[in-house]
Structure 1
Amino acid sequence: MNIRTDLAIEAREMVGKGEVPGVLFEKEGTLSLRISRVKVLNEEGMKAIGKPIGTYITIETDGIRNKEIKFVKRICEVIAEELSKMLNLSIDSMVLVIGLGNWNVTPDSLGPKVIEKIFVTKHLIEYMPESYNPKEGIRPVCALSPGVLGITGIETSEIIMGVVNRVKPSAIVVIDALASRSLERIGTSIQISDTGIHPGSGVGNKRMGITKEIIGIPVIAIGVPTVVDAATIANDTLEKVFDSIEREVKPGTELFKMVANLSREEKYEMIKEVLSPYVGELVVTPKEIDSLIEDASRVLAYGINMALHPGIKFEELSNLTMH
């Protein structure tokens, strides 16, 4: 499966409420829609939180699966605003949208599902310039679902580089499913980063990255968590047990010190080491994953379409994309 780990939320949690040298953190929004931005400015910040230099944005909301059109529209508008700022391109600059993942595996099909709903216009602008014009807010956009290594036998990065060399877009937007480090994040957060991605990292596969350094043009990554690993489930459960122990055990005892001094990451690694011989790299997804993928793909696609085509209104997208 072509799933990677969380980006922005992990970075944000590493920052916490205190200041970290080389890292800027800001948060805004309401209880129903929260936006967090973490900017890693230099090598000092990179070493502090273990993330490459760049910007990490998290949009947290329970509304991805909300059917209320006004709320869905607001989420799409936020995605469009954040993506537009990150791309910072003129309206006539071409963008290539890539949907990573395996369309045969539901939790990993987010990328291909988004591509089905992207309004592609490169061919329309070339052959019907009188009807589709960048001056009217319609950008040249092309899209691709390259599949996974197990289907094609070709590294995804190599496929993308071949297309980039031929089509020559100004930037790439990559959509991928995420492996979360918290049960609560499944289907409730949208993550955007300008540092690219490393396919398969969320399930232990070390693969060639899709980044500006490798591809040669800016790469914006967008994703939604769709699975968690077994160690995360066990860790979340034990977190509650440890919290209970801390409340019941007297401060100063050896047991209290042992529990209190373990960080969440240390607990996770300890549990992962214990479980690995028995379950390996087991990942779990919710039973309603089909509807989650459909809802999340529509929200992401509409947000991306609004960012790439500012001349198109939210209400017009369902007709333009046929989904």
Structure 2
Amino acid sequence: MAEIEVNWSRTDLIDEAAEVVEHRTKKQKEKLEDTSGVVIEEFKENRVKVTKVTVDKKGQEEIGKKEGTYITLSVPTLYVDDENGFEQLEKSFVKYLDEIHKDVVLDKDSKVLVIGLGNKTITPDAVGPFAIDAMQAENTENPSDHFIMYAPGVTGQTGFETSDFIHALVQKINPALVLVIDALATRGSERLCKTIQITDTGIHPGSGVGNQRAEVSKEVFGVPVTAIGIPTVVDATVIIADAVEKVFRSIAARVQEKGKPSSKLSVSSWTPDTDARLDMNVIKPIFGEWSTWSSNDRLQLFQEVLNSNPERLIVTPKEVDVWITKYSLLVSDALFKWMKKKVK
């Protein structure tokens, strides 16, 4: 049996691929940003951080991500009961759905096939099927002739490739567009359930957790395919690396602030500013050389050491059931609003 090579970097987010580049030398980073192969735009719209990445064939070779357009919307301060944050995220989501589909023409007779990928019995993987449920409920109250919704389950349940199900539906329905909703993996714990990625490149289901299935894309089906993803899981090694980073920065901040008025005037337990520019060399005598490494270098160390453990762990927030419900409703509401705006 041939050995299967698995990429354990565990991310489906394009701007995290760009972050890998940012950890290289400044010269290499500038070279990538200057090339016509990858165009990166970053800006904020109120609380929403928007990252737009356009990749051509040359850029595909540079960062290992498929040619196309990727739009990542993130609210770093989002929490489960944050209505304002969800409202802003939904508003931006509708806006960029419209932008990424500016070349897709829909009329009153057009059909849009919406596929909810994932396993409904495993909560972190259920955002796709739950979004389909939410859309079907909305469609009962406010019927739309444009959406055709389907949750095909996963290969482990059906015994068939998800791509085959979608292909059969595309041939039967002949939609103008296919929208695929799926849970993603991230390599940054701060991204968990706080991000939506939209891309016109399609998707490889399961690729973020080392279980890659057949591609779902325009090249396979012959019609435009847009993937909508929400990161709900992260590799446990990332959690470890993030925790070590926070400990190192907290101690470095305390050492540097020691004796300053900011610490002496505090009337309660003093908390150092770990976001400030810190000289990590101050903790080198305590922890050694590795305390001055970059976050990415330490993460790579943990991955190399822990990769030999057969019990690799994937982590999800404890409130993941609430997050999934929130996002299923958000995606459903946004898609109906976008369709109403797109087809007048």
| TM-score tier after normalising by the smaller chain length | 0.7 to 0.9
Pairing partner for 2:281 from 235, 240, 247: 247
Residue 207 of structure 2 contacts residue 213 of structure 2 at CA under 8 Å; is this kept in 1? yes
**1:33 alignment counterpart:** 48
Q: Say which of 13, 29, 47 aligns to 2:61.
A: 47
Aligned mate of 2:307, from 265, 268, 276 = 276
What is the rounded CA distance, in whole Å, between the counterparts of 2:139 and 2:234 in structure 1? Answer: 37
Mapping of 1:161-240 within 5 angstroms? 161-240=167-246
* CA drift at 1:259: 6.3
2:271 maps to which residue? none
Residue identity opposite 1:113 in structure 2: F
Give the 3 Å change call, closer, same or farther, for CA 179–121 of structure 1 in structure 2. closer
Q: Higher Cα Rg: structure 1 or 2?
A: 2
In the TM superposition, residue 263 of structure 1 has moved relative to its aligned partner by: 6.8
Is 1:90 the equivalent of 2:96?
Answer: no
Q: Deviations over 1:179-208 (max 9, x none)?
A: 111111111111111111111111111321
Q: CA 1:207 to 1:142, structure 2 compared with 1: closer, same or farther past 3 Å? A: same
Gaps of 5+ in 2: 1-9, 23-28, 253-278
Measure, in 2, the Cα distance between the counterparts of 1:112 and 1:196.
Answer: 18
How far residue 232 of structure 1 moved from its aligned partner, in angstroms, is 1.3
Which whole-Å CA distance do the structure 2 matches of 1:64 and 1:166 have between them?
41
Partner of 1:58: 72
Inter-partner Cα distance in structure 2 for 1:122 and 1:168: 21
Q: Find the partner of 2:319 among 288, 304, 307.
A: 288
Aligned partners of 2:69, 2:79: CA distance in 1, in Å?
A: 23
Q: Aligned-pair distance for 1:222?
A: 0.9
Tell me whether 1:112 sits opposite 2:118 in the alignment. Answer: no
What is the CA-CA distance between 1:50 and the residue it aligns to?
A: 1.9
Per-residue Cα deviation, 1:262-290 (whole angstroms, up to 9, x for no partner):
671x5434322321333533101111111
Q: d(CA) in 2 for partners of 1:28 and 1:262?
A: 25
Structure 1: which 5+ residue stretches go unaligned? 125-130, 133-137, 313-323
Aligned to 1:98, what secondary structure does the other structure show? strand
**Per-residue Cα deviation, 1:62-102 (whole angstroms, up to 9, x for no partner):** 4473453x654432221112112212333323211110000
Q: What is the root-mean-square deviation of aligned Cα atoms in Å? A: 3.2
> Following the alignment from structure 1 to structure 2, what is the Cα–Cα distance between the partners of residues 82 and 281?
36
Offset of 1:248 from its aligned partner?
A: 2.3
Distance 1:115 1:234 in 2: 34
What TM-score does the superposition give when structure 1 sets the normalisation length? Answer: 0.79
Aligned residue in 2 for 1:318: none
Q: Tell me which amino acid in the other structure corresponds to 2:341.
A: P
Q: Which has the higher contact order (CA 8 A, sep 6+)?
A: 1
Q: Distance in 2 between matches of 1:64 and 1:220?
A: 27
1:113-152 to 2 correspondences below 5 Å: 113-118=130-135, 140-152=146-158
Q: Secondary structure at the match of 1:118?
A: helix
- Could you tell me the TM-score, scaled by structure 2's length? 0.75
Are residues 1:102 and 2:119 paired? yes
Aligned-pair distance for 1:161?
0.5
| 8 Å contact kept, 2:14–2:65 | no
- How many angstroms does 1:25 deviate by? 1.5
Classify the secondary structure of the residue corresponding to 1:13.
Answer: helix
Paired residues, what number?
Answer: 292
- Which secondary structure state, in structure 1, belongs to the residue aligned with residue 66 of structure 2? coil
Inter-CA distance 287–120: structure 2 relative to 1 (3 Å threshold): closer
Change (3 A) 1:270 1:164: same
Moved more, 295-304 or 12-21: 12-21
| Identity value in percent | 39
Counterpart of 2:341 in structure 1 is: 310
Q: Which residue of 1 aligns with 2:92?
A: 78
Aligned-partner Cα distance in 2 for 1:151–1:115: 18
- For 1:146 and 1:260, the matched residues in 2 are separated by 48
* Residue 158 to residue 178, structure 1, CA distance change in 2 (3 Å): same
Cα-to-partner distance string for 1:245-274 (whole Å, 9 max, x where unaligned): 9332679xxx64x7656671x543432232
Determine helix, strand or coil for the equivalent of 1:191: strand
Q: 2:27 matched to 1:13?
A: no
Tell me the SS of whatever aligns to 2:307: helix
Q: Which AA in structure 1 matches 2:58?
A: E
